[in-house]
Structure formats: C-alpha cells, structure tokens
Structure 1
Amino acid sequence: MKPEDLLSDDFLKQFKTGQQLNDFLGQIQKRAIEKMLEGQLDGYLGYGMNEQSKSINTRNGYGKKKIKTHYGESEIQVPRDRDASFNPMIVPKRESMVEGIEEVIVSLYAKGMSISDIEEQIMDVYKFEVSTATISRITSRVAEDIVAWQNRPLEPVYLIVRMDGIVFKIRENSKVINKTV
C-alpha cells in the first residue's frame, strides 16, 4: 500500500467524526514516536533488540511518560538503559511537549524521504544532529510497524454513508452566499 492510498477517500470514509480521525492520527503518532525512540536506543547502544550485547550498558525495559502533542495528551513507553545515560532526542527527559514532531512523522510516512532529507528535517525542527545509522534504524523500525499495521485483519463490514447535494447561490442579508441542498 502506497502512502497516497492510505489517505484515499475509501480509507477516510471509515471515520464518522473529526474526533475519530484525530484519535486515529494520535494513535499513529504515538506508535511512531515509540518506534523512533526504540530505534534511537538501538543506535545509542550499538545493537538491536533481541541481539547479544558485549557492552555493560544494556536495555532495561520501558518507562511511561505523558506527552502533549497537536493531537492531545497521550502516554508513551520510553525505552531505558541500565546506566540511565540514554537521553531521547525526540522527547527529552523532564519535558512533556513534543513540538513539531507531526512534520517529521508526516515526512517519514508520506514523502518517503531519503536518510539525508530526514537528517536535514530533524536538524531544522529539533536543532540537533543525528547520525545516518541512527536515522536508518529509526526509519526501519517505523517501516516494520507500518507493514504490521497494513497486514492487520480488517473488519468484515464497514458502514458507508454517501451524501450528495446541489449548491445554489442565494441572496441573504444583501450578500450572495452558497447554500447546499
């Protein structure tokens, strides 16, 4: 499935209200942030999840953190290391606001950006440098999650309401306005 297919009319018709769409986008953002954090920890520790480590500093589970974004407040799982020296760049320690992450997620999902473009985007938005290896790990984690989401079982029936109308120009209070009937 291509990113442009994801935003097709058929896909968007499953949402009955703007709030349902907003909640859905918030869930996607939450999952993407968590996958980015996991990829960043992979780069920081130098090995992926379920791989053997020769380092003293290893993974140490997850911590919960409430963040506020454009889509509202949500609770995310932040990966930890044993030394507690891992400082996430996307959601820094002791901060709860995620500013501009929507642009990065949209760039990662919709545009199919190259690693150098993503690196520039992060530099523009967050004002810090991230290695290309870290970006590669982050994007591969997010891509794995996208494939899993695309292969999820679908509901057997989706209700669709189709509405049609005709637009007339009507004079109201000395102004001509459009009214849909």
Structure 2
Amino acid sequence: MSPRKSESKPARELSPEQAAAAAMVAEAKARGLALTSPDGLLKLFTKNVLETALNEEMTEHLGHEKNQAEPDRDSTNVRNGTRPKTVVSDAAGEVGINVPRDRESTFEPQIVKKRQRRLTEVDEIVLSLYAKGMTTGDISAHFAEISGSSVSKETISRITDKVVAEMNDWAGRPLDSVYVAVFIDAIQVKVRHGQVANRPVYAAIGVTVDGHKDVLGLWMGVGGEGAKFWMSVLIDLKNRGVRDVFFLVCDGLKGLPDVVMNVWPQTVVQTCIVHLI
C-alpha cells in the first residue's frame, strides 16, 4: 500500500486498498458501533458490574464469602443459587442478570432492588467505571450513590476492588496489530465525587480487517483535552499491539489529528459531522 498521509478532506484520491477500507468504514458506521448496539459491550459491562455488586451484598448479608461458612456458626442461612432477572437501562436496553438467592429468602438487595426493573443512570455509572482515569475514590462514590446508606462502606470497598481488577484486565488486554479504522468519540457522563460534574468519556472503537467491531478502550477526560492527552491514548493502543491504523475517524477532538502521525505515520485522519456513539 502506498504511504498514507494525515488528511481531513474526504475528496482526496485514494488508492484501491484505501477505497476498500473506506467502504468498510462506511459499512461499520451504517450498522452501528459496538458500544451501545444490541450485542454491545455496554450490556456486558452492565451485567458484570451489577452481578459483582449483588454478590458482595449477599456476602455482607450472610457474613461470609461463598463456600466459606463457619461450621459452628449460629445461622444456617447460606447461598442457594441464583434467579434470572431482566433489567432495563436507557443505553444498554434489556440486560439479563443472575441475582443470588439465600436459603431462607431473607436477602434484600439494594443495588438492584426486588421488583425493580428500570435502572436510572446506570449507563453513566458503568461507562465511568470502565474508563481509564477514574480513581478508586470516584468508583466508590458511584456505588455509594446508587446504594445509599443501606450498604456498608466495607461492602462498597469490596465491590470497588473487584470492579477495578476486572476493569484493569479489560483495559490492558492485547489488541490486533492492524485496524481498518479506529473511531474516537466522546460520551458525556456524570461523575460523583464530592459533587456532580459532567465529564467526557472517550471511546475508541476499532474495525478489524475482517469487519469485526471492538471497543478498544475508554478514557476519562476533563474536557478540552489537548495533544498530550491524545498522545497518551494512542501510545496506550500502540503498546497493546496496534501497529497500524488505515483510518482514524473523529470529530471536534482538538489536538488529536495533530498527534496521529507521531504514532502511526501513514494513517488517514477523517473527520465526521455526526457523533459516532
């Protein structure tokens, strides 16, 4: 393939390989991206976060971890499997979760209450939990907000530790070496830590050479990010194995087009006039 230069004008002449890649980009955009689509990652994130929280609530209720009940304790109450439940959020839609049960049926979850179906603000919470740049204090504050005073600080801490460990595994996983396109766009979320503030979560979504779409990472910003921030994002992707990107598609992200060539010199930068996600 002939060298690709950073270019924001879509009318420039492309090589046959670039034209084919551009067609794949258009198809991926037309089909929707992989974050909030019916089979998207937000649905899986939501399921993982809610089930982690519910299981830690059950641990607090019973006073012991799963399969670690003391033989000489007074209570005979133990875990008794799970029951399926479907909850609904604005962005993720219907999400199937498994709610833990106890033998004596005395468990009253607070993160997802009995008979509660619609979850408000859960999308913002889940996105911010998985974004790089969140502190453990930020994450704990989110869980404290949705659970109120009914869940102890110790349980909130255990939930936070498990979510952070899972988040780090996902955020550091190896990536493909080549992507036809990488889309980067911002989602505004509310962050709670002392006070409520709107902050952008930047999502990078890659299209592989076989047309598969994958969320490569999420990064928490403060607004008005510049070249230094975007360089750290692109270096993160490169360090996880991304050697080449045919097209990088973004809109209104100041400083991003300027640093792309420092990481992937041949990448074509395209701007779009609509938000991607």
> TM-score, normalization: structure 1?
0.67
Q: Which residue of 2 aligns with 1:57?
A: 77
| Deviation (angstroms), 1:154 | 5.8
Q: Call closer, same or farther: CA 1:165–1:130 in 2, change over 3 Å.
A: closer
CA distance in 2, matches of 1:90, 1:64: 16
Deviations for 1:91-115, whole angstroms, at most 9, x for unmatched residues? 1111111112233334443312328
Q: Call closer, same or farther: CA 1:114–1:165 in 2, change over 3 Å.
A: closer
> TM-score, normalization: structure 2?
0.46
AA paired with 1:85? T
AA paired with 2:60? G
CA contact (8 A) 2:57 2:151 kept: no
CA contact (8 A) 1:60 1:80 kept: yes
What secondary structure is seen at the aligned counterpart in 2 of 1:143? Answer: helix
Q: Which residue of 1 aligns with 2:137?
A: 114
What secondary structure is seen at the aligned counterpart in 2 of 1:88? Answer: coil
Aligned pairs (5 A) from 1:60-139: 60-70=80-90, 71-110=92-131, 111-114=134-137, 118-119=140-141, 121-125=142-146, 127-139=148-160
- Is 1:142 the counterpart of 2:159 in the alignment? no
Q: Determine which of 40, 45, 56 is the counterpart of 1:28.
A: 45
Pick the structure with more helix per residue. 1
CA contact (8 A) 1:67 1:96 kept: yes
Which range is displaced more, 155-164 or 130-139? 155-164
CA contact (8 A) 1:108 1:118 kept: no
CA distance in 1, matches of 2:66, 2:45: 21
CA contact (8 A) 2:111 2:146 kept: no
CA distance in 1, matches of 2:117, 2:173: 31
AA paired with 1:38? N
CA distance in 2, matches of 1:30, 1:58: 23
| Deviation (angstroms), 1:156 | 7.7
CA contact (8 A) 1:65 1:75 kept: yes
CA distance in 1, matches of 2:169, 2:154: 23
Q: Percent identity?
A: 32
Pick the structure with more strand per residue. 2
* Structure 1: tracts of 5 or more residues without a match: 1-12, 168-177
RMSD: 3.2
* Structure 2: tracts of 5 or more residues without a match: 1-24, 179-207, 210-244, 248-267
CA distance in 1, matches of 2:172, 2:147: 32
CA distance in 2, matches of 1:151, 1:69: 27
CA distance in 2, matches of 1:142, 1:96: 22
